[in-house]
Amino acid sequence: MNAVDMRINKTLIRREFWENRSLWLVPMVFAAILTVLSVYMLVAVLVNHSGAVNNIDIDNGPHFQISDMPDLRDASDAEINGFVRVVTFSLSFMFSRLMLIVTFFYLLDSLYADRRDRSVLFWRSMPVSDTRTVLSKLATAVIGVTVVAFAVTVAFELVLLVLGLILGAALGTHPFVLLAHPGAFLSSWLLVAWGELVQALWYLPIFAWVMLASSWAKKTPFLWTVLVPVGIIVAEAWVFHTGYFARMVAHQTVDWLPLAYNFEPLAMKSSHSFAEVGGELFGIGNIGKVLAAPRLWIGAAVAAVFIYGAIELRRKRSEI
C-alpha cells in the first residue's frame, strides 16, 4: 500500500470519528465518571480513616477492613502479577463491554444515516469506491474503536494506579512496591490487547450482519438487525423445537475467551489466590488454539458474504 492509499484510508477512518463522536466520547465520559467516583471513595476513606479505626464504612458503599489489606512488601512476584492482572482485566472488560454497545449503534447507522440525509450523494461524488467505504467503516469498528477504547482504558488505569498508591500509602500497605513491577502492567496490557483482537475477530460476522442490515434498510435498520435473527430463532423453535441458531449466536460472543486465555474461571472466584492467575494465563499455544478454531474461519467466511452484500447494496441503493 502506498502513501496516498494510506492517507485515504486514514482520512476515511477519521471521517467516521468526526461523524460519530460517541465512539470516543462515550469511553472518555465513562472513564471520567469512574475517576470522579474513585476520587470520592479515596477521599471518603482517607477522611474516615484514623489509626484507631479498623473498619471502614462508606455510606451505601463498600465495607472493608484495613487488616484485610495485605502488606505488599510480603507479596511474592507471582501475587503482585496476579493482582495487577485481575485489576487490569476487570477494568478493561468493563470498557470492552461498553464499546460493544457503542459499536453496535455505530454500525447500525453506518450505511444508513447518509442515505437518510442524502449526504450519500456527496460522499459518492468522491473517487472512493463503495468497497473501500464499507471496509473503512468495518475497520473503524474493529480497529479504530478498539484502539481508542484501549488507550482510554490504559489512561484510566494509570489514574487509578495513582489513586491506589495514595490510598495504599495512607493505609500503610507500602503500595510503591507495585512500581518495581512495570512488567506486570505491560504484560497485562499486552494480554488485554490480544483478547480485544480475538474478540473482534469473533464478532466479525455479527458486525458484518449489522452493516448488511444498515445497507439494506429503507427505515429503522435496528428492526432488521434484530427481527431477522429473532424470527429465525422463533421459527426454529416452532418448527423443529430446537434452539441451535440461538445457541450458535450466543457461543459466537463468548467462545473466544477460553481459546485466547488459559482461563480457569474457578481460579478467579477463589479468594486470596492472585498468584494463581499469574503466568499461566497465556501461552504461545493460545495463538494456535485461536487459529485452529473452526468458528474463526466460518465466522470470517460468513462476515465476508455479509460485507459483500453490504457493498453491492451500497452500490445499488444509494438513495432511500
Partner 1 sequence: MSMLVKAKGLTKRYGALTALDHVDFEIEEGRIVGLIGPNGAGKTTALKAILGLTDFEGELDVLGHDPRGDRHELMRQVCFIADVAVLPRWLRVSNAIEYVEAVHPGFSRERAMHFLERTKIKQRSKVGELSKGMVTQLHLALIMAIDAKLLVLDEPTLGLDILYRKEFYTSLLNDYFDAQRTILKCSARSCSCSRAPHARSWPSWASCTPPASPTSSWRR
Element (H or E) spanning 27, and its range? helix 22-48
Cβ closest to partner 1, residue 162 vs residue 320: 320
Nearest approach, Cβ of residue 132 and partner 1 (Å): 8
The answer to whether 127 contacts partner 1 (rule: CB under 8 A) is yes
Between residues 262 and 318, which has the closer beta carbon with respect to partner 1?
318
Closest-CA residue to 303 (of 158, 92, 190, 141): 141
Of the residues 132, 174, 181, 295, which one makes contact with partner 1 according to CB under 8 A? 132
Count of residues that bind partner 1 according to CB under 8 A: 29
Crossing angle (nearest 10°) for helices 145-171 and 182-216:
140
Q: Does 48 bind partner 1 (CB under 8 A)?
A: no
Shorter beta-carbon distance to partner 1: residue 85 or 115: 115
The residue from 12, 84, 184, 313 that contacts partner 1 (CB under 8 A) is 12
Give the number of other CB atoms < 10 A from CB of residue 171: 16
Question: Nearest 5°: CA angle at 156, between 152 and 161?
Answer: 150
CA atoms of 294 and 279, how far apart (whole Å): 27
The dihedral region occupied by 242, where left means phi > 0, alpha psi between -120 and 50, and beta the remainder, is beta
Touching partner 1, residues 98-117 (CB under 8 A) = 113-114, 117
Grid cell 500497605 is found at 173
Q: Give the number of other CB atoms < 10 A from CB of residue 69.
A: 14
Cell of 248: 450458535
Instruction: Report the nearest approach of partner 1 to the CB of residue 116 (Å).
Output: 10
For partner 1, which is the closer residue by CB, 9 or 273?
A: 9
Contact stretch for partner 1 (CB under 8 A) within 36-44, 122-130, 261-269, 298-306: 122-130
CB of 118 to partner 1, least distance (A): 5
The yes or no reply on residue 312 touching partner 1 (CB under 8 A) is: no
Q: Are 27 and 98 in contact (CB under 8 A)?
A: yes
Q: Which is nearer to partner 1, 49 or 132 (CB)?
A: 132
Return phi, psi of residue 52, to 5°.
-80, -25
Q: Which among 61, 242, 38 has a CA at the least distance from the CA of 156? A: 38
Told to check if 3 binds partner 1 by CB under 8 A, we report no
Going through the chain in order, the beta strands assigned E by DSSP cover 55-57, 63-65
Compare residues 120 and 167 and give the one whose CB is closer to partner 1.
120
Candidate segments 1-9, 218-226, 243-251, 289-297, binder of partner 1 by CB under 8 A: 1-9
Q: Is the dihedral of CA 11, 14, 20, 21 positive or negative?
A: negative
CB 33, min distance to partner 1, A: 25
Of the residues 129, 220, 242, 253, which one makes contact with partner 1 according to CB under 8 A: 129
- Residues lying near partner 1 in the complex (CB under 8 A) are found at 4, 7-8, 10-12, 15, 18-19, 113-114, 117-122, 124-130, 132, 315-316, 318-319
